[in-house]
């Protein structure tokens, strides 16, 4: 029986926290943090004028694209498919926090890790691809072929990296649950047998985040100037705003998932305590700081260099950690 309270929580979770309002704010803040940090690393100012210290610049840019700019469409495009795909991708991204202990409405159960992966690694990248293919062109096709090529290594590596804490915490609650892993993964950092596995898992996940976010050296699908803007060459106005928001929300959700599933979120402090919130924010900012640092230290790789780097520093460490994790579980 569905009661009114559940419907209110359902709508609150969808609209306010951790859905539309919270995750959009987090994604825009993450974009601001990335731009400001990149600028300071390159001895520039970065966003400065809109809001205090320029913090509202990403929101202003998004509103300008959606509200003010006109949509310039190539003649053989299918804009409504692009719009629907982008919004479905956002729907999937806004659902992911419900599987984490951060939400006011939590959905969990055994094997919810597969639901997490279904939303995070299938819906988001494929909706971005469908969006891009709805506005076809030679540069778009090259960009999409590069996304597909990256996805073949990046997503399995991300899956294997997150599976390590999920498998190791399976005996502590629901089996293969993102929720159980988020509540208990901090214990794995204190166990001398599982500590090296968690370090390998973190390394693999951070390299995957770099590729999923398409930050340097993995910014091959957009490859500015080389293939104009790659998969987003034909995006303009509102659809560019939507694509940009989907990308930012994807980055925020991935960084948040690494913070929770591998780094244990606010733990060892309780969830709604002040130290817990501070620890959670600090971990999130450290994860994003590492991504921005690598982004500014490296130039763009060629596609095969990127794939071998992903294979070497993400896929192989994740597989080694996973194999050792199963040996540990069975001994």
Partner 1 sequence: MYVVELEYGDPGLVALAASLFMFTVFIIVLLIYEGLRNKKTRFTETYLGGEPEDIVSNPTPSPANLYWGFIRRFARVLYRAVRDRMHTGNLQDWLLFMTSWYGLLLLVSIILGAIYMVRGVYP
Q: Interface with partner 1 by CB under 8 A: which residues?
A: 5-6, 9-11, 13-15, 19-20, 63, 66-76, 79, 83, 87-88, 90-92, 94-95, 98-99, 103-112, 114-115, 118-119, 123, 136-139, 141-142, 144-146, 148-149, 152, 228, 233-234, 237-238, 242, 272, 303-304, 307
Q: Check: CB of residue 57 under 8 Å from CB of residue 50.
A: yes
Phi-psi category of 43—alpha, beta or left, where left has phi over 0 and alpha has psi -120 to 50? left
What's the token pair of residue 239? 């659809």
Give min distance, CB of 2 to partner 1, in A: 11
Give min distance, CB of 58 to partner 1, in A: 16
In the bound state with partner 1, the residue whose beta carbon lies nearer, of 198 and 310, is 310
In the bound state with partner 1, the residue whose beta carbon lies nearer, of 9 and 189, is 9
Give min distance, CB of 48 to partner 1, in A: 26
In the bound state with partner 1, the residue whose beta carbon lies nearer, of 103 and 259, is 103
In the bound state with partner 1, the residue whose beta carbon lies nearer, of 196 and 275, is 275
Rounded Cα distance between 241 and 198, Å, is: 37
Q: Check: CB of residue 52 under 8 Å from CB of residue 77.
A: no
Give min distance, CB of 66 to partner 1, in A: 5
In the bound state with partner 1, the residue whose beta carbon lies nearer, of 288 and 310, is 310
State how far Cα 109 lies from the chain centre: 22
Provide the 3-class DSSP secondary structure of residue 264: coil
The number of beta carbons lying within 10 Å of the beta carbon of residue 8 is: 11
Q: Check: CB of residue 277 under 8 Å from CB of residue 262.
A: no
Rounded Cα distance between 190 and 265, Å, is: 15
Give min distance, CB of 72 to partner 1, in A: 5
What's the token pair of residue 296? 């500014």
In the bound state with partner 1, the residue whose beta carbon lies nearer, of 30 and 132, is 132
What's the token pair of residue 108? 């969990």
Give min distance, CB of 76 to partner 1, in A: 6
Position of tokens 């998932």?
A: 257
């Amino acid at each position: 029986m569905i009661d009114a309270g559940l419907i209110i929580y359902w709508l609150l979770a969808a609209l306010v926290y951790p859905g539309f309002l919270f995750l959009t704010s987090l994604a825009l803040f993450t974009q601001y943090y990335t731009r400001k940090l990149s600028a300071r690393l390159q001895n520039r100012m970065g966003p400065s004028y809109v809001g205090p210290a320029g913090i509202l610049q990403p929101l202003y840019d998004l509103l300008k694209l959606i509200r003010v700019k006109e949509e310039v469409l190539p003649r053989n495009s299918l804009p409504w498919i692009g719009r629907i795909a982008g919004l479905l991708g956002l729907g999937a991204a806004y659902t992911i926090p419900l599987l984490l202990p951060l939400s006011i409405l939590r959905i969990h159960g055994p094997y919810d890790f597969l639901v997490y992966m279904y939303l995070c690694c299938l819906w988001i990248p494929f909706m971005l691809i469908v969006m891009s293919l709805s506005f076809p062109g030679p540069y778009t096709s090259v960009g999409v072929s590069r996304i597909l090529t990256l996805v073949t290594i990046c997503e399995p590596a991300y899956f294997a990296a997150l599976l390590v804490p999920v498998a190791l915490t399976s005996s502590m609650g629901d089996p293969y649950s993102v929720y159980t892993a988020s509540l208990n993964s901090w214990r794995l950092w204190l166990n001398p047998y599982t500590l090296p596995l968690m370090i390998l898992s973190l390394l693999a996940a951070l390299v995957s985040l770099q590729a999923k976010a398409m930050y340097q050296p993995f910014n091959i699908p957009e490859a500015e100037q080389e293939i104009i803007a790659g998969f987003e060459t034909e995006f303009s106005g509102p659809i560019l705003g939507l694509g940009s928001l989907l990308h930012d929300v994807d980055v925020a959700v991935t960084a948040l998932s690494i913070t929770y599933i591998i780094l244990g979120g606010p733990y060892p402090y309780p969830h709604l305590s002040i130290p817990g919130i501070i620890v959670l924010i600090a971990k999130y900012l450290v994860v994003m700081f590492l991504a921005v640092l690598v982004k500014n230290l490296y130039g763009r790789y060629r596609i095969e260099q990127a794939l071998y780097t992903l294979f070497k520093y993400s896929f192989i460490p994740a597989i080694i950690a996973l194999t050792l994790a199963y040996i540990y579980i069975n001994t």
